[in-house]
Amino acid sequence: MAVPKSDYLSNVWANGIFANRVLFITGGAGTIGSAQTRALVHLGADACIIGRNVKKTEAAAEEIAKVRNGARVIGIGGVDVRDFESLKAAADRCVKELGAIDYVVAGAAGNFVAPISALSPNAFKTVMEIDTIGTFNTIKATIPYLVESASRNPNPNPSGFTGGRFLSVSATFHYTGMPLQAHVSAAKAAIDSLMASVALEYGPLGLTANCVAPGAIEGTEGMERLASNLVTAADKTRGVPAGRWGSVRDIADATVFVLSDAGNYVNGTTVVVDGAGWRRQGGLEVGLDPGMRYPDFLLSGEVSRNLKHGRNAKL
């Protein structure tokens, strides 16, 4: 069954605003990445989805292509963002088959729950490699094509079309600190810094580089890994001033904004999409069951045993 448009895109966007443009996205088969891709493809773009799992990546591309007649969506699996040569080959193939890369979304990421005491050097390194080095490799593999796109699409463009835009998926944990998330906080802080550097060094060539920082997003694998399945809806939403967890559509809409004509002067910054949740991070109980409170769970060495694929043994 096709995904309803209302699940991934608001009605405020005009059809065709990304016509004849090409999106290159890592992690595009994930819950957030697929919503971002659907939104751009619905609005006229073609896309290359990059992922490690060949079957999952190709299946996602085939499904996403259904949102618009004539859409070209290529799934390039078997690509590890930690391997620059593999990623560069994927970028070159994207340009060869679709003609260009106008937008890049770096969304590949890894996460799990672990205190520093149980976080091995290898586990920390793995998250840094996937998130931070993976983002750097994505920059290096695609930036020449984004420079070409920016030269074809002056900012602002009288036609209203855009190009030469890089967007990384970040997070908000490092704004205040978050127990059990030292690895991700370090990796995402580095990504924010990378986007600032790209904006400074490539802004004069017409590029924009930004982050989107999702808060707790309903129905995503990321939150299944972080939030206990014993937490009630009331407990989950109590920590968010907006009164709810976000949806993948919230992130897709923010992505459309930043990459569209409306985002021409947004550069070198982070668009936080979390209902003001980061303002009171203690309300998001990452890795905890109801009744577990800071700092008691750290002192006892217990975290939730009700996480998807979580590091959920006694620590």
- Give the residue numbers marked as catalytic: 170, 188
Which residues face 238 on adjacent strands?
A: none
Which residue in 25, 54, 276, 240 sits closest to 138, CA to CA?
A: 25
d(CA 8, CA 158): 28
User: Quick check: bond before 156 cis, omega within 30?
Assistant: yes
d(CA 7, CA 159): 29
Contact 93, 147 (CB under 8 A): no
Distance set, CA 18 to CA 22, 131, 304 (Å)? 8, 27, 43
Give SS3 for 270.
strand
CA atoms within a 13 Å half-sphere pointing along the CA-CB vector of 284: 31
Which residues face 148 on adjacent strands?
A: none
d(CA 83, CA 155): 32
Which residue in 225, 157, 32, 68 sits closest to 47, CA to CA?
A: 68
How wide is the angle at C-alpha 42 spanned by C-alphas 105 and 89, nearest 5°? 40
Q: Where are the alpha helices (DSSP H) in the chain?
A: 31-42, 54-64, 84-98, 121-127, 134-152, 173-176, 182-202, 221-226, 233-238, 248-259, 296-300
Which residue in 30, 36, 38, 134 sits closest to 79, CA to CA?
A: 134
